Structure 1
Amino acid sequence: METIENHALSQEERLWAAGVHLGALLAAFFTSWMVGIAGAVVAICVWFVVRDRHPFAAEHAKECFNFNLSMFLYACLAVIVGLVLGVGAVIATIATLGLAALVAAPVVLVIVVALAAIAVLWVVFGIIAAMKAYEGQSYRYPMTMRFLK
């Protein structure tokens, strides 16, 4: 069995740690990525359940919470930027009698690609974190703001 900070990890603790990542990922997926705050809610709920009994799983739950909240905020930011640029592009298209549509189409494409990239990263990093947790290893998600430490 792996150890972390002189603490022997049980199968139960590794399952909790891996489960929080997969549970948060599924919650985000089933509530749609734009309402992905559900992943952060799952992670914080698991943290409350395991924080006193399983320190390894509690660390993974905090990391999962931070990541899911960060990804949710990134998605919100992409939507806001898309709306601002989209409204601006529509106004510019009307004002230029359609010429600005040449700029508007690529802007929409960039926003759609950004949202798709966020969703793919959410899935890939969530699966990697679950695998690392099950192996008894710590994992730090990239691109994560640290709300809980």
Structure 2
Amino acid sequence: MSTPYGSPHDDQSAYGPQPGADGFGPAGYGAQPGPGAYSAQPGPGAHSAPGAPPLRGPHPAAAYGDGSAGYWRASQDDKTLALLSHLGALLVSAIVPLIIFLIKKDDSPFVREHTRQSLNLQIMLLIAGFVSGLLMFVLIGFILLPLVVITGWVFQIIAAVKAYNGQMYRIPFVIDIIR
């Protein structure tokens, strides 16, 4: 009786030699790597096309262009408005950032992003303050409420400094409610 897959002592000779047995193809488990398989340093021009000069380092800065830097480059007026949105949030909560956001959201991506971050922080602080107020009935709210207020001040001040320097800043722990 013959088996459909050949005899058990076939050694699969009908399929040719095993990989790595003739020195070509992938070697089997436990086989020794060939000479030069683990080179510590590539030779000169190892990563360049044949006939091309070897790579010697990064290109000059002018070769890369501005990229998206021009998109975020802020004028002095934009920096001032972004700064005012953060400082205004410290004084009168979300009113100042909301007014600036509604007026300048289509004019300056820099001001839009900073006022959006400020508004999102104010919304998160409102929610955290409400939860802390509820937790005052179990006395832990007396500890949480000052922590929420101080944390909000710190993040607004950091964001105000970044805005004045013309840098983008993503306030940590803030969910993007306003997009």
Q: TM-score, normalised by structure 2?
A: 0.58
Give the drift of 1:44. 1.7
Q: 1:70 to 1:53 in 2, by over 3 A?
A: same
Query: Contact 1:40–1:66 (CA<8 Å) still a contact in 2?
Result: no
Offset, 1:82: 2.1
Aligned to 1:142: 172
> 2:134·2:141 contact (CA, 8 Å) conserved in 1?
no
Counterpart among 130, 138, 141 of residue 76 in structure 1: 130
State the Cα distance separating 1:122 from its structure 2 match.
Answer: 1.1
Which consecutive unaligned segments of at least 5 residues does structure 2 have?
A: 1-66
Letter in 2 for 1:9: A
- Matched pairs, number: 112
TM-score by length of 1: 0.69
SS of corresponding position for 1:139: coil
Distance 1:5 1:46 in 2: 23
User: Residue 123 of structure 1 aligns to which amino acid in structure 2?
Assistant: W
Runs of 4+ in 1 over 2 A off after TM superposition: none
Gapped regions of structure 1 (runs ≥ 5): 28-38, 86-107
Q: Which residue of 2 aligns with 1:16?
A: 81
Name the residue aligned to 2:109. 55
Identify the match of residue 67 of structure 1 among 99, 110, 121.
121
Residue 142 of structure 1 and its aligned partner are, at CA, apart by: 1.4
Q: Secondary structure at the match of 1:57?
A: helix
What is the letter of the counterpart of residue 121 of structure 1?
Answer: T
Normalized per residue, which structure has more helix? 1
Query: How far is 1:119 from its partner?
Result: 1.0
Relative contact order higher in (CA < 8 Å, ≥ 6 apart) = 1
Residue 124 of structure 1 deviates from its aligned partner by: 0.8
Kindly indicate whether the alpha-carbon contact (under 8 Å) linking 1:20 and 1:64 is maintained by their aligned counterparts in 2: yes
Considering only CA atoms, is the larger Rg found in Structure 1 or Structure 2?
Answer: 2
Q: Cα offset for 1:4?
A: 5.9
**Deviations 1:36-71 (Å, cap 9, x if unpaired)?**
xxx223222110111122220111001100001101
Check 1:4–1:123 CA distance in 2 against 1; reply closer, same or farther (3 A cut): farther
1:121–1:65 distance in 2 versus 1, CA, 3 Å: same
Distance, in Å, in 2 between the alignment partners of 1:44 and 1:114 is 26
